[in-house]
A = this chain, B = another copy of it.
């Protein structure tokens, strides 16, 4: 379970949809598969990728497997993005101050709020 695994997992659109679904409610594999037009097998493989990336967790109820999003799996990604965001704002600010920035078409510098 690395940030690399998580980001690779999220690069595929269907897996993002799956993650949204199981972030809202715990669902069985069959219920998840029912929301897509591809085969059950394809969904099963996607679920395995997400699980291995630490983004969701599975429990069994009889023959059913229930999946829900795992918040911890997203923590590293949020941190990664926060660092990027903060660094990018800082750099943009510095460039403005040294008059090196904003000469490429009036790019707006978002407020850090």
Binding site for B on A (CB under 8 A): 4, 7-8, 10-11, 13, 16, 19-20, 22-26, 57-59, 68-72, 74-75, 77-78, 80-85, 87-89, 91-92, 95, 100-101, 103-104, 107-110
Instruction: Given A58-B104, A91-B68, answer yes or no on A11-B19 (Cβ-Cβ < 8 Å).
Output: no
Label chain A's interface by main secondary structure: helix
Given contacts A22-B91, A69-B91, A77-B81, 4 further A-B contacts (CB under 8 A): A24-B91, A69-B88, A71-B110, A78-B78
Contact A25 B107 (CB under 8 A): no
* Total copies of this chain within the assembly: 2
Q: Which residue of B57, B74, B100 is within 8 Å of A85 (Cβ)?
A: B74
Contact A11 B8 (CB under 8 A): yes
In the bound complex, residues from chain B placing their C-beta under 8 Å from that of A20 are 83-84, 87
Instruction: Given A13-B4, A26-B95, answer yes or no on A74-B68 (Cβ-Cβ < 8 Å).
Output: no
